[in-house]
Structure 1
């Protein structure tokens, strides 16, 4: 079930996101979490009712997602969620591992401990969202955490590349993990990662990040 709220996500370029951008972020999160299923057609009024907002910002947001290749427009019907192949998911995982593992590991020696600790409430939010089964809140907090962490490396282009890869991904297995009571354990890896970083343990950080991305790919595969 999609929560009846409009999320607060990271600011874009130092400014507060517009209402349309916030709706688009919520739709992306629902799509990534598998709440919006590949191949299915959704109408703007139907999604608006589901999110508790008006149809106009939903229609505008879906057009933004169409430009990103996340959905296709279906004349007189709405929008169809695009299908992502296993090969594409493998490629996304490979690119993310090449970027995120070494970058995150390097933060163990370069990041300000205060900046790392500032991310702990977000990591705890990921865990609480997993415990309550709120998949949209889980995706939103996970995005804030990982992009916030990568931003500490000081490379804005790197952050945008990872943001785009995450937008194109699909975490098909989240619902199954919630039902099996396993999502909370996966969520706690974010706290493990912070503990390794604040301990200045580069190898431990690399190990946790590698394992975490492996679990993410597993969730992508669990259709």
Structure 2
């Protein structure tokens, strides 16, 4: 496994979720590749936590299909295909379109004013080149629409799908930030005018471009399993990977 940057996480009840987010991001950004083992002791030491939240986090990631448990050897990063990435972004686009359909009629002047301020916050963060602020501001914009839709279950499904996205990869990309500036302004105008068609177009562009950027990044990182058909995973004749469907998920808050 590649060297892990030192990151200290405080002891909190949701610690295993934060560890899962950290490892999930490393997988989806290509920092660790399919077939790499994720060592409990190494991960715990690098994050400044005990082994217990790391073990819980890996159980969560196993349930998500990102890691596999190899008996007597530990957890390794699962194979990933371009189709996997395309499916993740397709699902987010489908859910987002349905959410915006419900939200667009519920944006009154107060909500529109708040959303406009969030767009300005994103623009300020992008201009400052501050990736953390960019991530936070873009999340706030999506949350604004999700809340307006009053579709709690759909928003939770969308949140679960969005966990796979390595947000820092996008926030660090000047071209992505420039496109997001345009998309955020277009979405604000669509919300003001009730233009569902434009809102859908913005969503389609956002997730299509996001998929293309991540696919290109992972291509450069060499993570693709070109022969994977998506119907199962094995680790050679002697180390068959246990079924990932038998492990319960550990769900975190939305």
TM-score normalized with structure 1 length: 0.69
Partner of 2:148: 152
The change in CA–CA distance for 1:126 and 1:21 in structure 2 (over 3 A counts) is: farther
1:141 Cα deviation (Å)? 6.4
Distance 2:143 2:28 in 1: 16
Partner of 2:16: 20
Q: Secondary structure at the match of 1:182?
A: helix
Is 1:213 matched with 2:207? yes
- Whether contact under 8 Å (2:187, 2:202) holds in the other structure is no
Is 1:79 matched with 2:75? yes
- Whether contact under 8 Å (2:17, 2:57) holds in the other structure is yes
Distance 2:129 2:100 in 1: 26
Larger Rg: 2
- Whether contact under 8 Å (1:192, 1:208) holds in the other structure is no
Structure 2 segments unaligned to the other structure (5+ residues): 219-254
Distance 1:219 1:113 in 2: 35
Structure 1 segments unaligned to the other structure (5+ residues): 8-15
**RMSD value over aligned CA atoms?**
4.0
Partner of 2:228: none
Partner of 2:189: 196
Relative contact order: is structure 1 or structure 2 higher (C-alpha 8 Å, sep ≥ 6)?
2
1:197 Cα deviation (Å)? 4.9
Distance 1:161 1:96 in 2: 9
Counterpart mapping for 1:24-103 below 5 A: 24-103=20-99
Partner of 2:7: 4
Q: Secondary structure at the match of 2:35?
A: coil
Q: Secondary structure at the match of 2:129?
A: helix
1:121 Cα deviation (Å)? 7.7
Distance 2:39 2:59 in 1: 12
CA distances 1:33-73 after superposition (whole Å, capped 9, x unpaired): 33343332121222233334333312221122112222112
Distance 2:121 2:31 in 1: 22
Q: Structure 1 stretch 149-158 or stretch 99-108: which is displaced more?
A: 99-108
- Whether contact under 8 Å (1:33, 1:172) holds in the other structure is no
- Whether contact under 8 Å (1:171, 1:219) holds in the other structure is no
TM-score normalized with structure 2 length: 0.62
Is 1:174 matched with 2:169? yes
